[in-house]
Amino acid sequence: MIIQFKKPLNQEILKDILNTMKQEHHHGILVDNHLVVFDIDSFDFNERQKSVIDRIEQHQPRYVLSSRAFKSDDTIIKTAHNEIGGNNFTVMAGPCSVENEEMIHRLAAEVKAAGATVLRGGAFKPRTSPYDFQGLGVNGLKYLREAADENGLDVITEVMSVAEIESVGQYTDIFQIGARNMQNYELLKAVGRTHKPVALKRGLSATIDELLNAAEYIASEGNFNIMLVERGIRSFDGTYTRNVLDVGAVPVLHKLTHFPVIIDPSHAAGHADLVAPLAYAGVAAGAQGLLIEVHQDPARALSDAAQQLTPAQFTKLVDHVNKIRAIDHEDEL
Amino acid sequence: MIIQFKKPLNQEILKDILNTMKQEHHHGILVDNHLVVFDIDSFDFNERQKSVIDRIEQHQPRYVLSSRAFKSDDTIIKTAHNEIGGNNFTVMAGPCSVENEEMIHRLAAEVKAAGATVLRGGAFKPRTSPYDFQGLGVNGLKYLREAADENGLDVITEVMSVAEIESVGQYTDIFQIGARNMQNYELLKAVGRTHKPVALKRGLSATIDELLNAAEYIASEGNFNIMLVERGIRSFDGTYTRNVLDVGAVPVLHKLTHFPVIIDPSHAAGHADLVAPLAYAGVAAGAQGLLIEVHQDPARALSDAAQQLTPAQFTKLVDHVNKIRAIDHEDEL
Amino acid sequence: MIIQFKKPLNQEILKDILNTMKQEHHHGILVDNHLVVFDIDSFDFNERQKSVIDRIEQHQPRYVLSSRAFKSDDTIIKTAHNEIGGNNFTVMAGPCSVENEEMIHRLAAEVKAAGATVLRGGAFKPRTSPYDFQGLGVNGLKYLREAADENGLDVITEVMSVAEIESVGQYTDIFQIGARNMQNYELLKAVGRTHKPVALKRGLSATIDELLNAAEYIASEGNFNIMLVERGIRSFDGTYTRNVLDVGAVPVLHKLTHFPVIIDPSHAAGHADLVAPLAYAGVAAGAQGLLIEVHQDPARALSDAAQQLTPAQFTKLVDHVNKIRAIDHEDEL
Amino acid sequence: MIIQFKKPLNQEILKDILNTMKQEHHHGILVDNHLVVFDIDSFDFNERQKSVIDRIEQHQPRYVLSSRAFKSDDTIIKTAHNEIGGNNFTVMAGPCSVENEEMIHRLAAEVKAAGATVLRGGAFKPRTSPYDFQGLGVNGLKYLREAADENGLDVITEVMSVAEIESVGQYTDIFQIGARNMQNYELLKAVGRTHKPVALKRGLSATIDELLNAAEYIASEGNFNIMLVERGIRSFDGTYTRNVLDVGAVPVLHKLTHFPVIIDPSHAAGHADLVAPLAYAGVAAGAQGLLIEVHQDPARALSDAAQQLTPAQFTKLVDHVNKIRAIDHEDEL
């Protein structure tokens, strides 16, 4: 059960309630003015206790802090240059990997011009084979940060291990947790402790419930700055698309959770000419942002060569997306 | 290889070419001004033969008649009330099952008013269990036909067996082949022989290539009036959606085939509140039509109760879809 | 609920019970000494009625006739040369396609010598593309029948459409329903009406419940001579095996249904060198039979070239299988 | 290409070859008497260089060190009490979680008596929800170690993060990497640096190639003591089994890699009554070991209650497995 207290909190009665719960060996957590008690659905409060309670939600999913039952209004994540979630729409773009200093500076200017407000770029790359290009590491992060700052953009980049959190955290505004690490619980808890925004990518075969429970690992450490990224799921047919964009996950997640939902059409598509239609689909279904791979010369990219857009293609995509967004506003979707 | 001859056909030289092929034991089919030869990629034609040849396509997929290599421009299917495919957009709507005469007449008027031009409704229903409601049969077909005629609509309804083709064909304008029958080859060939429009639904775990090869069974009998219906594929997670709408199949099919691509968001969603976002996604990705279940009182429907829209919900959906379509036109997607 | 009456049936009281049910508008079916009533879980019988009732099963799955709740002991299917199911073990083998008269005669003798008692062979072949070899048709059936008769073997061959049932039925002892037709309900009902043994293959992405409901379509027409064939399901990885043999389906089906469970390792494997380990796995898990593709010269086969065994490989396989079976007997698995 | 040198290594000529490669900017690694060069398939060696080369393998998969191309004979992993791989068969058993000191001591004795030689038990548990029981931590490890030592058993337990490697490594003989961490590359590299045996579990939707590339991350750090664990993959049907045991992965992996292949039927089954048939299937298909959950009182287990065997069930299972193994030996599978 979730007990929502009236504000301002009456500390005395609250303490009394917590004591009562403790005496009866109930297991719970207190977040702001919410007390979540995991093992019971109702409780016989006395009148004095009732007087400070605003609302009681009897049933809550296992991923309680991530649920609409816990927080019914949309979470808005504030960064230096963005408000992400709610009625906002955020375009994040950049290369799969930061390959050198010059390329990321040029790209940052180009994606900014097209409408992006967050610069993406990989410095530590998770690659299927240990012999593939693993990214520029800390140098890549520096270039990325400088390019973003020069253009008034936020930075999003992947963090792959607990040990890297501090150094990556110095350069990024948003930690990206990759699909392969969606259930790397130590990493989730560690980014949870930073309180910095986290973009959590759905695992290739993760259910919606597993995604939300993974988010819960971050939230349970006190970090509510979470956005969820649908990036395509694995199916039986990989002939023409790399993965299947589960566009239905967008409205499903909006029902279940208050966190923003972002679409990554690049990894779902796997082929540049499919990125735009998937992006339009995601936006039409209600996504609150896009994460897109852009490269000046995709054919020569050191990773994900097939699926990156040129700046010109990206500009056209953002323009079309804005028109779809305009309808939604009009119709108050 | 596909040999496209100049028009009008020079019958004499064509006969000469066919004879040459026959003598050398090549295996092929002639469709209009196209000769498809399956077992070779090139041929040493003499000058006279070359003079009647417009274009030679050396490589073609196995589903040759269905491919863009065979026919590069979009197929437009003409019915009494519709042109389906190309830049047209067709809304097909109606109940999962025709339950009685009165309901289908009322619904026909309502979906027409909302913008539908094809009336759907099941009379012979494929049901997982033999003990589930199997449809009204021929009476259902009669009601459906009358309701459509009264409102100037085409009819689409499922045909489940070769034996039913004649009787169902008397009442319908479009044969629907259900997902479970996508590889029922006898049925495909039989509807192929009718030359009546066919809406072929993708099987639950059919690859894109299997879908196109299934269409080829119809086309190889001389029937090119085929539309392909993406209706959701089976995945590992059926908790919140019945299936996963493979929205990427829309642009993929547009690249590979000239046949129209229709989206069925109702069966993909499985829940009424998800139908609209999936429909918007499909349209934004380039679908040329929608197939949607509508019912006056979904909660009391004899089948698919959870996923049918009310006429009011459907009206709102079509209105929003039209706005997305308007952008596409503007941007010449 | 399932009401099992004492034998011999007291027709008078039975009629009384049926009348009572009818008057109260309950929906049911009577099979032998079992009355299945679908819409209720209990009923207030009078003492006279109770006196003829042996047992009442309150809950039954939707696939009632196929369930252990309806029939707790294993179904044994009797053919001219076999008893299939229960503690019997049946090896069915032969080529993917009957390619000519001579080959099937030689193969029949060879698989018989190795221990097979049923001869398989395709005469009408379901092929993904309409341009692939479609089988020899009725001639193939004749060769198959003669080859089987010459060697004292039963015949199993696929029937693909209602129209072919009569002609195929003249030549075969067991109808095979292919994976693509598992939910071709008209075909299921039609083979149900023949009362001839049916081997129902699980569809590529059919759930266990869907398989059992498909069997129910056959059983509901009065044909209980059904064996279920696990032949591999479609997964995300087709690199090294064609499909994934769901070996767990064997014990699961044994719990849920009384019908025999057969393993087809050839289609699951897709590569000859994997057929034996998959067969051993299936047998070790409790399968009651095997369906295996054997060809004198697999490399030159007109279909499924990669996965057919030579007679020598097949002989070795059967020998090893018999040893695994011997342990099971000993341990009364 | 893989260049295998004659033994003993001629250091002088080897150095010469390495220098030549370096000068021509080829990228390679030297492991024992093997030099793997990634970017070329052949090289024009001089006669002196040729004289020290035993064999050249021109093509190798991306997971080169893990491949049969690199090492054709089976890897045997030696621990205090076991030789794992090759013709050996290793039974690892114990509870899902170490719940207290007494239980693990009793269980250790019981699984030893039944034939297990490795004791499994979770101390740090990866759980879908942060609110589920997370294991006893270091205390659990101590109990586990003592119980194993008392009974002459090796220990296998999961390590979930780089930070825990040192402490877990003090207590365990084999690091288990769980399915969720199969592509946690930092963790793979870190256990690779320890040179301690690693049991790498296949991810829920990991392809065979991804599994082998994950193993390659460990091997590329110099640790060849790797066993691969098939524990069931995620499919479309979770009604009766938790996952689908991909039994075909066993022979496939034997073809591709020299590492031992272990089956975990407990997690594939998800239900105790299915563990035995899946174990038998895995063994019949050629698995070199089993990893099985055993608990004195499964119904009261703090995790995985449904799928743990009682010691009596486990004893029966091992007895039957030994009989299947005996056939294999006899037939030199």
| Contact in structure between B239 and B274 (CB atoms under 8 Å) | no
CA distance C245 to C265: 7
Q: Does C234 touch chain A (CB under 8 A)?
A: yes
Report the candidate in C221, C173, C182, C226 with the shortest Cα–Cα distance to residue C205. C182
Q: Does A332 touch chain B (CB under 8 A)?
A: no
Whether residues A187 and A261 fall in one domain: yes
* Residue D317 forms part of a structural domain: yes
* Residue C72 forms part of a structural domain: no
Residues of A in contact with B287 (CB under 8 A): none
- The whole-angstrom distance between C193's CA and the closest CA on chain A is 35
Whether residues D135 and D43 fall in one domain: no
* Residues belonging to chain B: 333
For chain A, the chains sharing at least 3 beta-carbon pairs closer than 8 angstroms are B, C, D
Q: Does C207 touch chain D (CB under 8 A)?
A: yes
- The whole-angstrom distance between A236's CA and the closest CA on chain C is 4
Q: Does D200 touch chain C (CB under 8 A)?
A: no
Residue C97 has a CB neighbour count (10 Å cut-off) of 26
Across the range A45-66, mean pLDDT stands at: 93
* Residue C66 forms part of a structural domain: no
Residue C74 has a CB neighbour count (10 Å cut-off) of 17
- The whole-angstrom distance between B221's CA and the closest CA on chain A is 27
For chain B, the chains sharing at least 3 beta-carbon pairs closer than 8 angstroms are A, C, D
**Contact yes or no for A324 and B327 at CB 8 A:** yes
| Contact in structure between D276 and D287 (CB atoms under 8 Å) | no
Q: Which two tokens stand for residue D178?
A: 């769980």
Q: Check pLDDT > 50 for residue A333.
A: no
CA distance D131 to A213: 10
Whether residues C160 and C282 fall in one domain: yes
Q: Check pLDDT > 80 for residue A215.
A: yes
Residues of A in contact with B322 (CB under 8 A): none
How high is the pLDDT of residue B199? 98
**Contact yes or no for B126 and C183 at CB 8 A:** yes
Whether residues A10 and A136 fall in one domain: no
DSSP B106-117: HHHHHHHHHT--
Q: How many structural domains compose chain A? A: 2
Residue C260: asked if its preceding bond is cis (omega within 30°), the reply is no
Nearest residue of D to residue B238 by CA position? D236
* Residue B62 forms part of a structural domain: no
Q: Check pLDDT > 50 for residue C333.
A: no
CA distance D327 to D283: 11
Q: Does A10 touch chain D (CB under 8 A)?
A: no
Whether residues D127 and D202 fall in one domain: yes
Residues of A in contact with D162 (CB under 8 A): 161-163
The proportion of chain C whose per-residue pLDDT surpasses 70, expressed as a percent, equals 99
Residues of C in contact with A238 (CB under 8 A): 236
| Contact in structure between B277 and A284 (CB atoms under 8 Å) | yes
Angle at B144 between CA B141 and CA B147, to 5 degrees: 150
- Categorise residue D85: left if φ over 0, alpha if ψ from -120 to 50, beta otherwise: left
Where do the DSSP E strands lie in chain C? 2-5, 28-31, 34-37, 53-57, 77-78, 83-84, 90-94, 118-120, 154-158, 174-177, 198-201, 226-230, 261-263, 289-293
Whether residues C158 and C283 fall in one domain: yes
For chain D, the chains sharing at least 3 beta-carbon pairs closer than 8 angstroms are A, B, C
Nearest residue of B to residue A271 by CA position? B252
Q: Check pLDDT > 70 for residue A332.
A: no
CA distance C155 to C141: 9
Spell out the residues 6+ positions from residue D183 whose beta carbon is closer than 8 angstroms to its own. Answer: A126, A128, A180, A181, D203, D206, D210, D214
Whether residues A94 and A134 fall in one domain: yes
CA distance D189 to D200: 12
Q: How far is CA A1 from CA A30, A37, A53, D316, in A?
A: 12, 5, 13, 45
φ/ψ of residue C21, rounded to 5: -60, -45
CA distance A284 to A324: 7
Q: Is A40 helix (H, G, I), strand (E, B) or coil?
A: coil
C266-315 confidence digits (pLDDT tens): 999 999 999 999 999 999 999 999 999 999 999 999 888 899 999 999 99
Residues of C in contact with A234 (CB under 8 A): 236
Q: Does D284 touch chain A (CB under 8 A)?
A: no
D165-209 confidence digits (pLDDT tens): 999 999 999 999 999 999 999 999 999 999 999 999 999 999 999
Q: Check pLDDT > 60 for residue C132.
A: yes
| Contact in structure between A41 and A75 (CB atoms under 8 Å) | no
**Contact yes or no for B234 and D234 at CB 8 A:** no
CA distance A203 to D286: 31
Nearest residue of A to residue B210 by CA position? A237
CA distance D269 to C222: 34
First to last CA, chain B: 31
Nearest residue of C to residue A238 by CA position? C236
Nearest residue of B to residue C37 by CA position? B131
How high is the pLDDT of residue A29? 87
Residue located via tokens 């294991």: D135
How high is the pLDDT of residue A261? 98
Q: Does A70 touch chain D (CB under 8 A)?
A: no
Q: How far is CA D323 from CA B288, C252, C324, D280, D327, in A?
A: 61, 23, 8, 10, 7
Q: Is D296 exposed, middle or buried (CB count within 10 Å of its CB: 0-12, 13-18, 19+)?
A: middle
| Contact in structure between C72 and C258 (CB atoms under 8 Å) | yes
Whether residues D46 and D147 fall in one domain: no
Q: Which two tokens stand for residue C246?
A: 């769901």
Angle at B288 between CA B204 and CA B211, to 5 degrees: 30
* Residue D65 forms part of a structural domain: no
Q: What is the ipTM, given to two decimal places?
A: 0.94
* Residues belonging to chain D: 333
Residue located via tokens 């039209």: B322
C288: domain CATH number is: 3.20.20.70
Whether residues B49 and B143 fall in one domain: no
How high is the pLDDT of residue B56? 93
The amino acid that residue B33 corresponds to is N
* Residue A37 forms part of a structural domain: yes
Whether residues B33 and B123 fall in one domain: no
Residue D165 has a CB neighbour count (10 Å cut-off) of 18
Across the range A7-12, mean pLDDT stands at: 93
Stretch 28-47 of chain D: residues touching chain A, C-beta under 8 Å? 38
What residues of chain B score a pLDDT lower than 70? 329, 331-333
Whether residues C17 and C152 fall in one domain: no
Segments forming the whole domain that contains residue C125: 77-331
Highest mean pLDDT among B147-151, C24-28, C326-330: B147-151
**Contact yes or no for A162 and D161 at CB 8 A:** yes
How high is the pLDDT of residue C332? 56
Residues of D in contact with B236 (CB under 8 A): 205, 234-236, 238
What is the b/e burial string over D205-244, where b = at least 16 CB atoms within 10 angstroms of the residue's CB? bbbbbbbbbbbbbbbbbebbbbbbbbbbbbbbbbebbbbb
Q: Does C235 touch chain A (CB under 8 A)?
A: yes
Q: Does C61 touch chain B (CB under 8 A)?
A: no
| Contact in structure between C26 and C1 (CB atoms under 8 Å) | no
- Count how many pairs of residues, chain A against chain B, have C-beta atoms within 8 Å: 123
DSSP 8-state code for residue D173: S
* Residue C71 forms part of a structural domain: no
| C-alpha of B193 from chain center | 16
How high is the pLDDT of residue B293? 97
**Contact yes or no for D236 and C281 at CB 8 A:** no
How high is the pLDDT of residue D90? 98
Residue B279 has a CB neighbour count (10 Å cut-off) of 31
**Contact yes or no for C205 and A234 at CB 8 A:** no
Q: Which two tokens stand for residue D274?
A: 């299915």
Across the range C73-91, mean pLDDT stands at: 98
CA distance B279 to B243: 14
Angle at D151 between CA D147 and CA D155, to 5 degrees: 60
- The whole-angstrom distance between C25's CA and the closest CA on chain A is 39
Q: How confident is the model at residue D333 (pLDDT cuts 50, 70, 90)?
A: very low
Nearest residue of D to residue B205 by CA position? D236
For chain C, the chains sharing at least 3 beta-carbon pairs closer than 8 angstroms are A, B, D
Report the candidate in B258, B118, B242, B92 with the shortest Cα–Cα distance to residue B179. B242
Whether residues D170 and D279 fall in one domain: yes
The residue among A233, A236, A239, A241 with the most chain C CBs within 10 A of its CB, best to mutate, is A236
Q: Check pLDDT > 90 for residue A59.
A: no
| Contact in structure between D208 and C237 (CB atoms under 8 Å) | yes
CA atoms within 13 A on the CB side of D51: 8
The mean-pLDDT minimum among A317-331, B146-160, D40-54 falls in: A317-331
* Residue A65 forms part of a structural domain: no
Q: Check pLDDT > 90 for residue A331.
A: no
Across the range C36-53, mean pLDDT stands at: 92
The mean-pLDDT minimum among A209-223, C29-43, D77-91 falls in: C29-43
Who has greater pLDDT, A280 or A125?
A: A280
- Count how many pairs of residues, chain B against chain C, have C-beta atoms within 8 Å: 83
- The whole-angstrom distance between A43's CA and the closest CA on chain B is 30
Q: Does B158 touch chain C (CB under 8 A)?
A: no
A255-286 confidence digits (pLDDT tens): 999 999 999 999 999 999 999 999 999 999 99
Evaluate the CA torsion angle A324, A175, D202, A304 in order and state its sign. Answer: positive
| Contact in structure between A13 and A49 (CB atoms under 8 Å) | yes
| Contact in structure between B65 and B13 (CB atoms under 8 Å) | no
Spell out the residues 6+ positions from residue D306 whose beta carbon is closer than 8 angstroms to its own. Answer: D270, D271, D272, D298
Q: Is C170 exposed, middle or buried (CB count within 10 Å of its CB: 0-12, 13-18, 19+)?
A: exposed
Q: Is C198 helix (H, G, I), strand (E, B) or coil?
A: strand
Nearest residue of B to residue D242 by CA position? B236
CA distance B39 to D333: 42
What pairs with residue D34 in β-bridges?
Answer: D4, D31
